[in-house]
Structure 1
Amino acid sequence: MKTGIRDETLLEQKLALSAYLDALLTDETESLPKADAPVEVLSPAATPEPVTESPQPLRVDGVPDWAQTRFQALLFEVAGLTLAVPLVKLKGVVPNEHGLTEMPGHSSLFLGVTPYQGVQSKVVDTARFVLPKDRVTQLDEDISERSAHLVVIDEGRWSLACTKIGDVIELDAEQVKWRSAAGKRLWLAGTVINQMCALLDIDELTQQLVDGMA
């Protein structure tokens, strides 16, 4: 009896995760009309460059350049959600042994800084960044468990706090359900179909983090 109940619970969790990942991919941005207005009013000649030209070299048919051929990705877990980072965009993975120096005056999204190969790497509360609001409110105030390991990106400038490190997997573009062009979560490259996990777009993610620090 207990086994049956446990199986049903796991099935419900998988279905909920599948629905959440699908929602991440298909949700359309609510601010698209607002983003167009300043382009026309403030600088019609200059602003289209970063908006229209920058993403084009990175994607072919919705697939990033690093996924045009078979690629590897590292799995890691954040508050029960499995994420994947392309190895080509990964700087390193380290246990959080040095602790974090807090950053007064910054958003709760940023946990602090930690030394990494001569750089003060800014540590992100990844769970707060990627989880839906209803899940964020359930997060434990004690961050020690969800920052036990650090996934280092952007040449060491940023570290993604996580609960545990998983395996390295090999993927083809066909094994990923890629984010639609209208998707508002630019940090999400797509979802890995078999593993049911979110594949991160590190370039977009780091840009959002930089904007958040401004």
Structure 2
Amino acid sequence: MADKKMTQQTASDAAIASYLDELLHTATTTAEQEEPEVVVPEKVEPEPVPAERPVAESLQPVVREPEEHAPTPAPDVEKTDPVPNEPQARPDWSAKPFECLIFTVAGLQLAVPLVLLGAIHKIEDEIRSLPGSPNWYMGIRPGSDYNLRVVDSAQWIMAGRVPENARDNYRFIIRLDDSRWGLACDSVGESFTLDPEQVRWRTARSQRPWLAGTVIDHMCALIDVRAMSELLMRAEREQRLDLS
């Protein structure tokens, strides 16, 4: 039994390490691919100067037939659909050093800027999911001022690499800014000041729009809180979920 448990733990650790490596690789390769290329201008050879024509020849009038000009067609105006809002490459709160809070989800370290941290709630009662809800939605945490929609962070962030029984280890909920969404997590660490230069920022967000960048020194992923909230609200609309 002990050997089986050790084997399962090793497999979970390997999955988490692989996923963290992928996050770091994504941010690194994105930055490298988008470095501006230095273009060296081609050497332009001077054109030969034409020889002077005889004066008599140059004084002869040149008769040109009138050219028929075809009417210029009106340019086609192509109608394009509005481009959906994309998360900013560098969030506005990253212009100067900012405070961050590290929390863990199934062994994976994540960081959230304190300026967009709504609250931290302790899970004291069981959160039951609604029938027919997706696996990433845990349920409602009732409160005196509002009901918080709790996300199974491992299922939402680490789809396909979720360790077995990861939900059993959740102890806290990180509320995303002033939204009605919260991320369930295992533990909450101390806050620290982070310099923007310590973050490998992402500028392309076609995959994992919630990932603002990675903090190499702390080996953690930095969350774009607003992008995460928008993704959750979009999932609620597109999947027509009744989460109230």
Q: What TM-score does the superposition give when structure 2 sets the normalisation length?
A: 0.65
The reply to whether residue 103 of structure 1 matches residue 118 of structure 2 is no
Shift of 1:182: 4.6
Looking at structure 2, the residues matched to 109 and 27 of structure 1 have their Cα atoms a distance apart, in angstroms, of: 29
Letter in structure 2 aligned against 1:178: W
Looking at structure 1, the residues matched to 28 and 229 of structure 2 have their Cα atoms a distance apart, in angstroms, of: 21
Give 5+ residue unaligned stretches, structure 1.
1-8, 29-39
Letter in structure 2 aligned against 1:139: E
1:69-123: per-residue Cα shift (whole Å, max 9, x none)?
Answer: 1101110000000000111111111210133142222111100010234211100
8 Å Cα contact 1:27-1:182 kept in structure 2 = no
8 Å Cα contact 2:28-2:200 kept in structure 1 = no
Looking at structure 1, the residues matched to 142 and 29 of structure 2 have their Cα atoms a distance apart, in angstroms, of: 37
Superposition pairs for residues 134-213 of structure 1, below 5 Å?
135-136=161-162, 138-140=163-165, 143-145=167-169, 147-213=170-236
Looking at structure 1, the residues matched to 155 and 168 of structure 2 have their Cα atoms a distance apart, in angstroms, of: 14
Q: How many residues align?
A: 178
Looking at structure 2, the residues matched to 199 and 179 of structure 1 have their Cα atoms a distance apart, in angstroms, of: 10
Looking at structure 2, the residues matched to 74 and 188 of structure 1 have their Cα atoms a distance apart, in angstroms, of: 15
RMSD: 2.6
More strand by share: 1
| Distance of aligned partners of 1:123 and 1:24 in 2 relative to their CA distance in 1, 3 Å threshold | farther
Letter in structure 2 aligned against 1:143: R
Tell me the equivalent position of 2:146: 119
Letter in structure 2 aligned against 1:128: Q
More helix by share: 1
Looking at structure 2, the residues matched to 168 and 80 of structure 1 have their Cα atoms a distance apart, in angstroms, of: 18
1:22 to 21, 24, 39: 24
8 Å Cα contact 2:152-2:184 kept in structure 1 = yes
Looking at structure 2, the residues matched to 20 and 114 of structure 1 have their Cα atoms a distance apart, in angstroms, of: 32
1:136-176: per-residue Cα shift (whole Å, max 9, x none)?
Answer: 2x331x7231x211111142501100011111011111010
SS in 1 for 2:227: helix
| Identical counterparts, % of pairs | 35
- The structure with the largest alpha-carbon Rg is 2
8 Å Cα contact 1:150-1:161 kept in structure 2 = yes
2:114 to 80, 83, 87: 87
Tell me the equivalent position of 2:43: none
- The ranges of structure 1 where at least 4 consecutive aligned residues each deviate by more than 3 angstroms after the TM superposition are 12-18
